[in-house]
Amino acid sequence: MANRRALVLAAGGALLAAPSLGAGARRRPLEPLSILTQKGVEQFEVEVVREPEELSRGLMFRRELPERQGMLFDFGFEQPVYFWMRNTFIPLDMLFIGADGTIRHLHENAVPLSEEPIPSRYPVRAVLEINGGLSRRLGIRPGDRVRHPIFTRP
């Protein structure tokens, strides 16, 4: 259990120190992801990041993000996390997602280059970053369900 606690602290520290893919970093293959909203199903293609270095780099230094693409941060198990926008030039919506795929919290239009911490508010398994304002346009809200292989189904 001590190793798991250290992982939680390391992951949380890495995120506080920088979630968002750095200069020279390779892009990951895209995987399908869908969000079940009250209006219908919204389809995305996402890069999935799991390794500490990838988790800390995220979307840093990128200048654009196609509308139906995003980055899914997979922490492996539920834990509280913090993000910030250091070296991130794109306004982002951050969807904080529980292990069952339920969106627990949504932070809209994170300010580019801000070092203000953005907390998950609840323990989460993953965070999905998409273009700022897209959640509102598509009607994505807390309580909606995300479908991707990392999430368990009730």
* Domain extent listing, the chain: 2-147
Residue 55 phi, psi dihedral angles, 5° rounding: -60, -40
Query: Per-residue confidence of the chain (154 residues) as pLDDT tens digits?
Result: 333 332 332 233 334 333 333 444 457 899 999 999 999 999 999 999 999 999 989 999 999 999 999 999 999 999 999 999 999 999 999 999 999 999 999 999 999 999 999 999 999 999 999 999 999 999 999 999 999 999 986 5
43's tokens: 């389809």
Q: What CA–CA distance (Å, rounded) separates 50 from 63?
A: 22
pLDDT of residue 152: 82
Alpha carbon dihedral 147, 110, 112, 24, in 10-degree steps, equals -20
CATH code for the part of the protein at 2-147? 2.60.120.1140
